Structure 1
């Protein structure tokens, strides 16, 4: 159980999260989200000396894990709150997760994106029925605009990671891993703002405290890594990484508290290691993944983690990547062993 005061996304208060919250989220998601495979990879097991099981959230609806948290958040709202709609700020997977969840409930959704957001992401989000507002030069400016619109409209802001219901939704991944592989010893998770690893760690540590939960972050976007190691929230003004889904200036207050309590270790990987892993996953396992989705496995392949002889679950968080980007990477790393 964890308790922390949250002051993000229009929510202020003391929140206590426990395994029961994740169980409730699992019930809500049962007929909505896919139960994604946890697949043993002989190729990557041989390369690392560990038994590597890939949790394939790249096969989730919308192509990433975000639907879990977004749907659970919206499902937890009262009918009056849902009637007023939801709003979020995102130019990535969270935008599509919120849009699809809102579509399921038949409620209005607004997604605020930076003015120069890729047209492919704008159209994908609109395809799920959301209204897209383009404003600001970056995510942070879009975030401020979304909070202002939320207050004006009376709609509920759905934070991408620093929200108890969102965290509980992401925690269902941890439950599935433990149900499918009760003998797992380590779970390796990519980290941006910390919602995914906080939820997984919450679910796992409540009943299986011996299982190690390990975070992985890009070296150029390491606010959560710095925060976890220093014991205080750290801020990065200009995070940068090929794993754009992990490029966050600072983790949330709630997620920071949970990571400090539940996460066992935290390592960094380089962009080159992430890109090489993306290519290896496509070439050797026929798995298409985005940079964020490849980060956790990159930590093992690059020997940032030494887990030889262990049973290891590796979270492949998403697969939404521009195919022209993949083409460039495969040419760059052709022949890499």
Structure 2
């Protein structure tokens, strides 16, 4: 039962290394949502993440023999840094197995804390398999990132601090979920001590493994996982964490990339700190809860779980924030290809600000424009714009929620290619390592012509790629087989409105 964790959490002696983090007021977020919103600042831990709690608590429970044999973990992020620092503090040898896609800044951070880094594979699963094989070969102790009772108990100390720091009314606490260690530990403690407090788990829309498990009433493995919020990019919830969470949480909320980016900006405006995507996830869930339920005058707490983000990612985060805040909408609109059309179109919009306008000549009759507009989050602006355009005879498509349009099309509107016969379009996530593109080209390019290519990287472990290839109908099955063998995440986008309007 989850109650078994209470003594473990109370007995966790982690504070000679981890710190008790503040529970900060957020005047701007609170004013905007009409609630008292508090932020638990786990980004202020020595490794800028709550992960130090669980990793250190696990090491404290090991025997002298286990410590002497050294510890090992597979991680590309915060668990790696937490374990490295914990091991350094206790004088224990630590080996961290990291995917080859891990950004250099994270590798150096682990090395600075005295751990040995071994790079294997492109994914966490490959690194994890290698690490577990080393356990058998060398007798080291494996320290899991979340699915372990001592790790869960260490993370549960976050809840213990919150309830000590704020003894008054708390209506709900929002906790980010990847593998579930933080949520399991916190929820077990909260529901034992203050069962009237609602606990909500928050996941990315494209990595909602807990939501999928609860719906299926069993742990399931997601076929694909979005990697923007890499700290919670987990395909399957932990076995022990799921056992605890399903008995203790009041619900699961999912947040989109845009909503997470908006929450990062919210945290910055109130604290002048920059949360990593997983760090801002619970605030995105909190805001969605307020919007969906109309909650007012409540005390709501979100966990700022970490701040380990690469500087290069900030341009992408900034770009997506306006949409996440519902302050920008993007549309594909067809206007007549004749002088004065653009002026007439802008006049129709009145004083509404145009944030972006992309266009290239295609034919003498119609012009397809890609247009961004400022909207008010308090109004039903997107629907009003669509209604206005339709009533005036314009053909328009709302692309505000179209991932391909936001990732690629807005940067490459360049006209149609009627000569590109039999073109099929795919969106890929390439592992960001030397040879990834060459591997793709070796498998595909010699067999079919590449008719379109757009690549973007945002400082993450994966680059976003849009590819058009000319594939005769008889070759479709062979192409699909090669794409599966390639092993990269991909989505066919040939029927996507953004492609059909601007590039097909």
Q: Normalising by structure 1, what TM-score?
A: 0.92
Residue matched to 1:239:
225
- Which residue matches 1:110? 95
User: What are the superposed Cα offsets for residues 305-333 of structure 1, whole Å, 9 maximum, x if unpaired?
Assistant: 65422211110100111112124433554
Match in the other structure for 1:298: 284
Aligned to 2:265: 279
Change (3 A) 1:217 1:306: farther
1:190 is aligned to 176
2:195 pairs with one of 209, 217, 220:
209
What is aligned with 1:83? 68
Per the TM alignment, residue 301 of structure 1 is displaced from its structure 2 partner at its CA by 2.5
Q: Deviations over 1:256-287 (max 9, x none)?
A: 01011111111111011101211232234312
Q: Is the 8 A contact 1:18 1:206 kept in 2?
A: no
**1:320 and 2:305 equivalent?**
no
Question: Partners in 2 of 1:102 and 1:304 — Cα distance?
Answer: 44
CA-atom RMSD, angstroms? 1.6
Report if the CA contact (8 A) 2:174-2:286 is conserved: no
Q: 250, 260, 263: which one pairs with 2:246? A: 260
| Cα distance in 2 for residues equivalent to 1:228 and 1:305 | 21
For the 8 Å contact 2:88–2:113, the answer to whether it is kept is yes
- Separation in 1, partners of 2:255, 2:37: 18
TM score, norm. by length of structure 2: 0.62
Partner of 2:6: 19
- Per-residue CA deviation, residues 69-99 of structure 1 (Å, 9 max, x unaligned), is 0000000001111110100000000000000
**59-68 vs 205-214, which deviates more?**
205-214
The 1:169/1:199 distance shift into structure 2, 3 A limit, reads same
Counterpart contact for 2:286–2:300, Cα < 8 Å: no
Bigger mean CA offset, 85-94 vs 293-302: 293-302
Name the counterpart of 2:27.
Answer: 42
Decide whether aligned partners of structure 1 residues 284 and 54 sit closer, same or farther in structure 2, where only a CA change above 3 A counts: closer
Match of 2:258, SS state, is helix
CA distance in 1, matches of 2:287, 2:299: 15
SS at match of 2:160: helix
Q: d(CA) in 1 for partners of 2:113 and 2:292?
A: 39
CA shift for structure 1 position 152:
1.1
- Tell me if 1:225 matches 2:204: no
2:134 to 145, 149, 154: 149
Helix, strand or coil at the partner of 2:235: coil
Q: 1:306 to 1:323 in 2, by over 3 A?
A: farther
> What is the alpha-carbon distance in structure 1 between the residues aligned to residue 51 and residue 321 of structure 2?
29
Kindly report which structure 2 residues correspond to 1:92-171, keeping only aligned pairs within 5 A, or say none. 92-171=77-156
Distance 1:78 1:238, change over 3 A: same
Q: Does 1:330 align with 2:318?
A: yes
Q: Answer with 90-99 or 296-305: which moved more.
A: 296-305
Distance (Å, rounded) in 2 between the aligned partners of 1:325 and 1:304: 29
Contiguous gaps of at least 5 residues in structure 2: 328-376, 378-504
* SS in structure 2 of the partner of residue 319 of structure 1: coil
| Secondary structure of 2:318's aligned partner | helix
Counterpart Cα distance in 1 of 2:142 and 2:293:
37
Give the match's secondary structure for 1:245: helix
With a CA cutoff of 8 Å and minimum separation of 6, indicate the structure with the bigger relative contact order: 1
SS in 2 for 1:63: coil
Corresponding residue for residue 181 of structure 1: 166
Find the residue that maps to 2:207 and give its secondary structure: coil
User: What are the ranges of 5 or more consecutive residues in structure 1 without an aligned counterpart?
Assistant: 3-15
For residues 148 and 281 of structure 1, do their structure 2 counterparts lie closer, same or farther at Cα, with a shift above 3 Å needed?
A: same
Q: Provide the rounded CA distance (Å) in 2 between the counterparts of 1:142 and 1:173.
A: 29
1:174, distance to aligned residue in structure 2 (A): 0.3
What's the CA shift for 1:241?
3.6
1:119-152 deviations in Å (ceiling 9; x for gaps): 1111110110000000112110100000000111
Q: Secondary structure at the match of 1:36?
A: coil
Match of 2:237 among 251, 254, 263: 251
